[in-house]
Amino acid sequence: MTKPSFVYVTYIATTPEKVWQALVDTDVTRKYWADPTSDSPAHVNVSDWKTGSQWEHQRLDDARTVDMVGKVVESTPPRRLVITWARPKEARENSKHSRVTFDIEPQGGGLVRLTVTHEDLERDPQMFEGISNGWPKVLSNLKTLLETGRALPHSPLAA
Amino acid sequence: MVQHPWPAARDSRKEPASPARLLVIDRVFKALADPSRRHLLDLLHRENGQTLTALCEHMDMTRQAVTQHLQQLEEANLVAIVWQGREKLHYLNPVPLHEIHERWIEKFERSRLFALRELKKSLEGDDDDKT
């Protein structure tokens, strides 16, 4: 493993299976992979989640715009998911892919520790910036959804 | 990977403000209350994934004191540990800070905005009465 660029950890009162489902099931992902303070649509991650398969980070707009692509490197439900991460135009350039690992570890006491490790981002400052703002939001939304069953409200005062 | 001595928060699923949950947030605020620990977070923000030795170079205290501060940050989940061979790397984990932002800052911001909207409504209502 190279030295990670970012490591994010959150403890969620749920089961490893539910965390796994939240990562791979678009019906769950759409509820939390969004910025509640913005009107822009949520994202889902689409794949069959088999090792070697492609995955796409799709925006839930009419065109289903693909904002990110990559390959599934390792898929071990409900414990570990490793994917590569790249812009669609750089899909064929493996050297431009960064790498994301989701580790799901039961902690006892009904808690699950979810660790997201993002590697190989240093050569892409723009992606680095976007990623560092994005993961904390996504992870705390995910925690809220799994612990309360509710997605975060979409800016209630914007209307 | 080092395991965190994390308090059981079984109740938090049903009761978001359960004592166990408050304890978690208490640890975050406590960890943030000390200027040396905030400085350590700043150092990790500047360069993520540093060793204890690298961090000590910027801290005007003993190695042991830095270790203790890092331990408290780790227990508050503000610092995550990655082992690289025999090297222990410290990463800033901003997820609890984001949760504080959502629970506290944004919450108060929302009520402020709500108050403004109510004020606007009542003032506009007064205008309506006059016309």
Q: Residue B87 belongs to a domain with what CATH number?
A: 1.10.10.10
Specify if B4 maps to a domain.
no
B115 and B71 in a common domain: no
Specify if B3 maps to a domain.
no
Range of the structural domain that residue B122 is part of = 94-126
Give the distance from CA A29 to its chain's centroid. 8
Say what the pLDDT of residue A153 is: 57
CA A55 vs CA A23, A71, A92, A94, B16: distances in Å: 12, 6, 13, 14, 34
Q: In the structure encoding, which two tokens stand for residue A114, read together? A: 């979810």
Please tell me which of the candidates A111, A115, A137 has its beta carbon nearest to residue B98: A137
Say what the pLDDT of residue B65 is: 98
Q: How far is A148 from chain B (nearest CA, A)?
A: 6
B106 and B60 in a common domain: no
What value of ipTM does the predicted structure carry? 0.84
Tens-place pLDDT, residues A3-48: 899 999 999 999 999 999 999 999 999 999 986 666 778 999 999 9
Task: Please state the pTM of the whole predicted model.
Answer: 0.81
Angle, CA of A73, A79 and A82, to the nearest 5°: 20
Q: In the structure encoding, which two tokens stand for residue A110, read together? A: 């009904």
Specify if B29 maps to a domain.
yes
Q: Which residues of B touch A136 (CB under 8 A)?
A: 94-95, 97-98
Q: Which residues of B touch A107 (CB under 8 A)?
A: 3, 6
Tens-place pLDDT, residues B78-128: 999 999 999 999 999 999 998 888 888 777 777 777 777 788 888 887 555
B58 and B80 in a common domain: yes
B12 touches chain A (CB under 8 A): yes
A9 touches chain B (CB under 8 A): yes
Specify if B2 maps to a domain.
no
Number of domains in chain B: 2
Q: In the structure encoding, which two tokens stand for residue A77, read together? A: 């439900």
B78 and B122 in a common domain: no
Tell me how far apart the alpha carbons of residues B100 and B43 are, in angstroms, rounded to a whole number.
21
Tens-place pLDDT, residues B7-21: 444 333 344 444 555
Neighbours of A157 (CB within 10 A): 11
